[in-house]
Chains A and B, each alone.
Chain A
């Protein structure tokens, strides 16, 4: 353990990062209009950051939390492709109570559905309103011939991200009946490249984000579908090697060979290594040093030093730190600000949140408690 860089680590500006996320939750300027079709995902990064910082219940009011819960459930919509969550009502003209049914242009979205479930788990919702059967129908409606998943039913927009969401949702539901798993696994393998990482779709260059997605998906899938394990030993070795190669001398991770380090890849590559059991090889002091330099002076974390912060990079940086915290038991001063509760790398949520999801989302949770209200 090197201790020289230890002492130089500045404080993690926890309050500033929490304030940045709270600000975004309360409203975004018109210049952020591109988020319109992904508001639930952005909300997840904000709520998730507060959760990782351990201040979610302390920094939000009971009143706000109730309203947010209601708003998220308003995005839970049922129709001809089944049930899921839409990104926001950006294509919606009336409330469900008014008999509104979704059209082909306002369907649930698979990425938003995954983030909505995690948001609700952070809010400690009991999931009594979740239409579980409708959810598996929806996942099935998103799977394509080649095993991949489209973002919304019938759209040709697909890549590995959507496949991961389908796997994560099925894992939380503890019900894989919505997926043709062998076909999906086959699709993942066509995205693997000679470098040891995975591209976004077949033939594409290895990239940190999609490599995490592939690795996590292969480890989420029930082992009965993977008789030879998620990866062969040789594949695993090459992948670990490539992921480690992405840690730059600055301590940050690159998303692709010969690119610049970027805060979000500290999570994507770091979580991939964690899942593959290679966590110990990451230089976490250097990683924290890089993320420290990505802190924006008025709160929030940006992709690289000197850039503007956003909830996406803030969340993923904190999630990376929850796996690779430089904090040592009993430390004081600046180092004490880097302490985190550990993270579930497969679902990308704080362990206690992931546990809540796994306890309350499966159908059996209703069977055992009557109304889906958890015993804990």
Chain B
């Protein structure tokens, strides 16, 4: 694949046997693209190749050229994949090229789709190499949706116990870099609660195991909340875990309450650090909106008038002070329970 980039296929003797086919445009088109000479030339030859059905090494060169000019050219990707299978190129060579292209065109769907196809078709799959590659590309773009999706797909596809276990360390590494990376939080949920990383949480698993995992996840989440209280990703995860395990919200109110009062208001209560209920880091902005919301929900779920009244008080704080952009929503919640109070 060494043909000089500036030579057009039309001027290249090695391609003289192919009849280039120009694009048909028909009537005055909508949003026509003023193609570069290079792109027009390459795609003319590509249409010519598709017409004859040729699948040979030089087609790999041609499709690579088109992909580099337009990584979203899905027909070039599709034809390339079929050609790879036909000429039996070692998968490793193609993956090496993809390592480069994936970083270059990180946001292009096709790059990742092609990689998936390669892995699916491969018999000597090396998932560890893939996970390392993904970890490396996530360094360049820590929240890239395609990259994370690919990791999730790969783990589910391979479904190997050992791989699952390593994922928790990976998530922690990502969260160490950025506690607010929601993709990492989501990945943790996927690994622990849907995949095989929870010690049997996904399928089966004994009661004791489940309780151990729940405790571990709650401790982990609380610790990260204490480091950065105003982090919706962590609170969403906390709620997700409680919902998933049907754990009553009220059970962790002793922890959450620490995040709705000012430090000065609870002087004396932090003499002994309770590991189950780590307090907010110094200088944290309190009250924490997510904690107010959580506490109100917990009160509402008590199902009695006292709980409802307490919830209303908190929603008023949200509506009028803490979260005014959603004022109408909190007022709606207030109306919803006020109808029930004393009913």
Interfacial residues, chain A to chain B (CB-CB below 8 A): 24-30, 32-40, 42-43, 46, 64, 67-68, 70-72, 74, 88-95, 100, 103-106, 151-152, 155-157, 193-195, 199-207, 238, 242, 244-245, 247, 249, 251, 256-259, 278, 280-281, 283, 286
CA distance A195 to B189 in the complex (A): 10
CA distance A27 to B162 in the complex (A): 53
Enumerate chain A residues within 8 angstroms of B58, measured Cβ to Cβ. Answer: none
Closest to B38 in A: A30
CA distance A280 to B189 in the complex (A): 32
Which one of B28, B73, B152, B183 contacts A67 once the chains associate, using CB atoms below 8 Å?
B28
Q: Are B51 and A71 in contact (CB under 8 A)?
A: no
Q: Are A33 and B69 in contact (CB under 8 A)?
A: yes
Enumerate chain B residues within 8 angstroms of A71, measured Cβ to Cβ. Answer: 26-30
Q: Are A28 and B25 in contact (CB under 8 A)?
A: no
**Beyond known contacts A67-B27, A156-B113: 20 more, CB 8 A cutoff:** A27-B33, A30-B33, A37-B70, A38-B72, A70-B26, A71-B29, A74-B27, A92-B23, A93-B21, A93-B51, A155-B74, A157-B110, A194-B241, A201-B149, A204-B152, A205-B186, A249-B325, A257-B182, A257-B236, A259-B182
Closest to A96 in B: B26
Q: Are B30 and A206 in contact (CB under 8 A)?
A: no
Closest to A151 in B: B74
**Assuming the A-B contacts A36-B70, A194-B189, A258-B233, are A91 and B240 also in contact, with contact meaning beta carbons closer than 8 angstroms in the complex?**
no
The interface bits of chain B over 12-53 (1 if a CB of A lies within 8 angstroms of the residue's CB, else 0) are 000000000111111111111111100100010001001100
B190 interfacial contact with A, CB 8 Å: yes
| Interface-central residue, B149, B182, B193, B236, by most chain A CB under 10 Å | B236
Q: Are B78 and A155 in contact (CB under 8 A)?
A: yes
23 cross-chain CB contacts under 8 A: A25-B31, A28-B33, A29-B34, A30-B33, A30-B39, A33-B33, A34-B72, A39-B29, A39-B30, A39-B31, A43-B30, A90-B73, A92-B23, A93-B22, A95-B26, A100-B24, A152-B74, A157-B74, A194-B189, A205-B149, A242-B236, A256-B182, A259-B182
Q: Are A259 and B35 in contact (CB under 8 A)?
A: no
CA distance A176 to B334 in the complex (A): 41
Q: Are B145 and A204 in contact (CB under 8 A)?
A: yes
Q: Are A35 and B116 in contact (CB under 8 A)?
A: no
CA distance A27 to B30 in the complex (A): 8
B231 interfacial contact with A, CB 8 Å: yes
B143 interfacial contact with A, CB 8 Å: yes
Would you give the shortest CB distance from A62 to chain B, in whole angstroms?
Answer: 13
Which one of A39, A193, A244 contacts B329 once the chains associate, using CB atoms below 8 Å?
A244
Would you give the shortest CB distance from A148 to chain B, in whole angstroms?
Answer: 13
Would you give the shortest CB distance from A358 to chain B, in whole angstroms?
Answer: 24
Q: Are B35 and A33 in contact (CB under 8 A)?
A: yes
CA distance A286 to B116 in the complex (A): 41
B88 interfacial contact with A, CB 8 Å: no
Closest to A193 in B: B186
Would you give the shortest CB distance from B296 to chain A, in whole angstroms?
Answer: 12
B210 interfacial contact with A, CB 8 Å: no
**Closest 4 A-B residue pairs measured CB to CB?**
A194-B240, A205-B186, A281-B329, A257-B182
Enumerate chain B residues within 8 angstroms of A43, measured Cβ to Cβ. Answer: 30-31
B220 interfacial contact with A, CB 8 Å: no
Enumerate chain A residues within 8 angstroms of B74, measured Cβ to Cβ. Answer: 37, 151-152, 155, 157
Which one of A39, A68, A201 contacts B33 once the chains associate, using CB atoms below 8 Å?
A39
Q: Are B31 and A204 in contact (CB under 8 A)?
A: no
Enumerate chain A residues within 8 angstroms of B116, measured Cβ to Cβ. Answer: 156
Which one of B182, B243, B325 contacts A205 once the chains associate, using CB atoms below 8 Å?
B182
Q: Are A72 and B30 in contact (CB under 8 A)?
A: yes
Would you give the shortest CB distance from B333 to chain A, in whole angstroms?
Answer: 10
Enumerate chain B residues within 8 angstroms of A206, measured Cβ to Cβ. Answer: 186
B129 interfacial contact with A, CB 8 Å: no
